[in-house]
Amino acid sequence: MKKIVLIGDSIRMIGYGNPVAERLSGEFEVWQPNDNCRFAQYTLRGMWDWQDSMKGADIIHWNNGLWDVCYLFGDGAFTPIDVYVDTMLRIARILKERATTVIFATTTPVRPENEHNRNDVIKSYNEALVPKLKEMGIVINDLYTPMSENVYKYICEDTIHLSEDGISLASDMVESIIRAEAEKLMHENVKKYDAQADVSLGAPV
């Protein structure tokens, strides 16, 4: 049975996390922290505490961003973009050591009236990070783009968290990409097995 790990902020914790775990249960072992993984450096620190629970993961699906882009004090984002990218790449390197496949979900949009987050900033953080993750072989689950097309449908009245429609869409997308990547792993394992079977014992290679 493949093991799936879900890591992320409240978009995961009170959003897609439990629905996805329920949908995958029975076919996959699913683990996710009870903690809100918050901002990138918080997640980085948390991975030390979660390392035993993450052991044996085949696929890790992960998101961070809304806390990092937040303007709280009038002096810029909570996590400067260069620090965010560096920290996220460090997380990605660690996650790649813990699982065969790592999936990153882009940071979701907010409603325009949100007082502390702006979609142009969110988009710039996504755009700064995603190409670098792709270079590392990280699979991208772009939650931002479809939700940005109708934030009043997919983002709830608090202007930042997912609405019921948003949870449904995110859950569909997360489940779909996990299943697709699990299927790839299964086929890769079959190919390796077939290759080994083609080698006769004792034959020169």
Can you give the pTM of this predicted structure? 0.92
User: What is the pLDDT confidence band of residue 192, given thresholds at 50, 70 and 90?
Assistant: low
- Name the DSSP class of 119: H
Collapsed DSSP state (helix, strand, coil) of residue 103 = strand
The pLDDT of residue 51: 97
Whether 129 contacts 84, CB under 8 Å? yes
Q: Where are the beta strands (DSSP E) in the chain?
A: 3-7, 29-31, 59-62, 101-105, 139-141
Is the domain covering 3-197 a CATH 3.40.50.1110 domain? yes
- Name the DSSP class of 149: T
For the record, the structure tokens of 147 come out as: 């939700």
The whole-number average pLDDT for the span 12-28 is 98
Model pLDDT for residues 68-82, shown as the tens digit of each residue: 999 999 999 999 999
Model pLDDT for residues 37-54, shown as the tens digit of each residue: 999 999 999 999 999 999
User: What is the pLDDT confidence band of residue 190, given thresholds at 50, 70 and 90?
Assistant: low
Phi/psi at 200 (5° precision): -75, 140
User: What is the pLDDT confidence band of residue 196, given thresholds at 50, 70 and 90?
Assistant: low
Domain chopping of the chain, boundaries: 3-197
Model pLDDT for residues 116-145, shown as the tens digit of each residue: 999 999 999 999 999 999 999 999 999 999
- In this predicted structure, the answer to whether residue 110 has a pLDDT above a threshold of 60 is yes
Alpha carbon distance 16, 10 (integer Å):
9
Alpha carbon distance 77, 173 (integer Å):
28
Model pLDDT for residues 146-170, shown as the tens digit of each residue: 999 999 999 999 999 999 999 999 9
Collapsed DSSP state (helix, strand, coil) of residue 72 = coil
Collapsed DSSP state (helix, strand, coil) of residue 49 = helix
Alpha carbon distance 194, 172 (integer Å):
33
Whether 139 contacts 101, CB under 8 Å? yes
- In this predicted structure, the answer to whether residue 201 has a pLDDT above a threshold of 80 is no
